[in-house]
Each structure stands twice: as structure tokens, then as C-alpha cells.
Amino acid sequence: MLIDAVESQVVCVDYQLKLMPVMRDHAQVQANALLLARAARLLDVPVWGTEQNPSRLGPNFPELKALCNHTLSKMHFGAVADGLADRLRPPVKPTSGNARSLPKHLQKAPAPAPTERNTILLAGCEAHVCLLQTALQLVEHEFDVWVVTDACSSRTERNRDAAFDRLAGAGVELVTTEMVVFEWLQTCEHPAFREALSLVK
């Protein structure tokens, strides 16, 4: 199964200013997170951010935060407990008034239902804590979760790799940033191909 941009959303977990310097390979991880978010914006894929206890750990690094549609502050390690799943699902509009009692020619056409984007591309830190718990919670909420491994980190390699092992065992797909970008594009004839390629290079 390939990743479809029309069905995708990106969640960037806790790339915070006080946290990132102690993450393993933090410069490359941040660069991949930026590439993922920039490609998502280029291809009209919504980008969300989370920040763990931002009063203590600071905000996400500014270049990434600027690319997010919204950044959710959280105190739980798993972001679903602080409302992430509600943000990722389009709100259901209640039917208003007694339109059904009006003659057909006076009734308004129903608004098209918002597109369900059930494929969640998740990246962030720490892989074995906030990213892992958020991913497992999203699986429980019946999202299709893909973790972008080269945009994730922990303080130690062992913790990061243990998180990936556990996620794979739970049915989460493990991918890389470039896999995601080229699967979103599908073809070198995509109108945004050259711009996306310049991001990758």
C-alpha cells in the first residue's frame, strides 16, 4: 500500500528547543522534519505540531512551528489524551433548522462532507515516549499510522530502536522522509515534482 497525499496528515511531535539538543543526530532529524513539513505544505497536506509541557521545554523550533496549521500544547505523553484525534478528524456539521419541512426548491443543497484524511504520518521525539504513545493511541482510534523513522529520535539509539520494534509489532508502518515525499508525488509529471525535488536535494 502506497501513501496518498489526499488521504494524509502530518503530525510533528515535540521538536522543542530545550529537548532537541540532547536528541541523537538532532541536526539531521530536524532537517528531515523540515523536509517532511515543507513537502506536505507544497502538496496541500495538513501539518500539525505538538509541544510537551512547553513552559518547561520551550516551543518547537520556529522554522517547523511556522509550517504547522496548529500546534497543540500537551501535558500527557500521548497527544490523543489532550485532543489530537479531535483535531485530525473533520468536525461533523449538525443539521440546522427545519429545512426538511421546506419545499424542495427552497431547500439548500447539503454542504459536501469534509474529506476524511485517515493516514497519519508521525515524526518526532522522544521516539520511545511521546511519539510511541501518540502512535499507539492513534491506532486505537482507527487511524492508519506511519512513522517517519529518519525524522524521529531519542536520547539513546537503544530507546529509539526499541520504539520502532514495538511500533512495527503493533501494525504501524515504518518509512523514511523520502519514501513519503515520492509516494505523495507518484510521478515525475506531478506539477510540484521539480519543487519537491529541490527540497529533497
What's the mean per-residue pLDDT of the chain? 92
Residue 166 lies in a domain: yes
Residue 108 lies in a domain: no
pLDDT at 101: 61
Q: Considering the entire predicted model, what is its pTM?
A: 0.88
On the question of pLDDT at 115 being above 70, the answer is: no
What's the 3-state SS for 97-152?
A: CCHHHCCHHHCCCCCCCCCCCCEEEEEEECHHHHHHHHHHHHHHCCCEEEEEHHHC
Residue 107 lies in a domain: no
> pLDDT tens across 9-38, in order?
999 999 999 999 999 999 999 999 999 999
On the question of pLDDT at 103 being above 90, the answer is: no
Residue 141 lies in a domain: yes
pLDDT at 201: 87
pLDDT at 118: 96
Can you give the CATH number for the domain in which 175 is found?
A: 3.40.50.850
Residue 153 lies in a domain: yes
Residue 55 lies in a domain: yes
Residue 25 lies in a domain: yes
Range of the domain at 134: 5-90+125-200
Residue 96 lies in a domain: no
Domain count along the chain: 1
